[in-house]
């Protein structure tokens, strides 16, 4: 049986010697998503890593479970859930027309905090964020 690596080349033909160590460089825009108009990330981490945006939307399908510190956020901030996604999408479109062009939007899914305070993936917030993007 012949082994294959991820690139589809046989390991013996690969230019990377077996057991070699190498560094992987991650482009900053891959983390801060600065090259995208609509950006998505989870919880308080999003407020630290995403590039500044014209509009930041905190998506929380079950409001009141978690509050994020929005003090350092630049631009306009609005909250959204499943019930008001269309109204928020229209509001963002109006801001885009006001700006006369491209408007960057950070979507921050609030998630839930576990017992250690870390963000827990919340499917309902993921669903609400997708519904807002679709609206």
More confident residue, 45 or 97: 97
The pTM (predicted TM-score) of the whole model is: 0.72
Domains of the chain, each with CATH number or no CATH:
28-134 (3.40.1010)
Q: What does pLDDT average to over the chain?
A: 80
| Tens-place pLDDT, residues 61-119 | 987 666 777 888 888 999 999 999 999 999 999 999 998 878 999 999 988 877 887 77
Backbone angles phi, psi at 57, to 5 degrees: -110, 120
User: How far, in whole angstroms, is CA 25 from its chain's centroid?
Assistant: 20
Instruction: Label residue 107 exposed, middle or buried (CB < 10 Å: 0-12, 13-18, 19+).
Output: buried
């Amino acid at each position: 049986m012949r082994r294959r690596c991820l690139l589809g080349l046989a390991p013996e033909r690969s230019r990377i010697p077996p057991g070699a160590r190498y560094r992987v460089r991650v482009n900053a825009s891959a983390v801060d998503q600065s090259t995208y108009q609509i950006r998505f990330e989870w919880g308080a981490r999003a407020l630290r890593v995403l590039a500044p945006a014209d509009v930041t939307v905190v998506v929380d399908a079950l409001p009141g479970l978690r509050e994020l510190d929005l003090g350092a956020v630049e631009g306009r901030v609005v909250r959204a859930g499943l019930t008001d996604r269309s109204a928020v999408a229209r509001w963002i479109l109006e801001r885009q027309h006001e700006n006369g062009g491209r408007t960057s939007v950070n979507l921050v899914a609030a998630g839930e905090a576990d017992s250690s305070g870390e963000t827990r993936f919340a499917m309902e917030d993921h669903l609400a964020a997708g519904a807002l993007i679709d609206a």
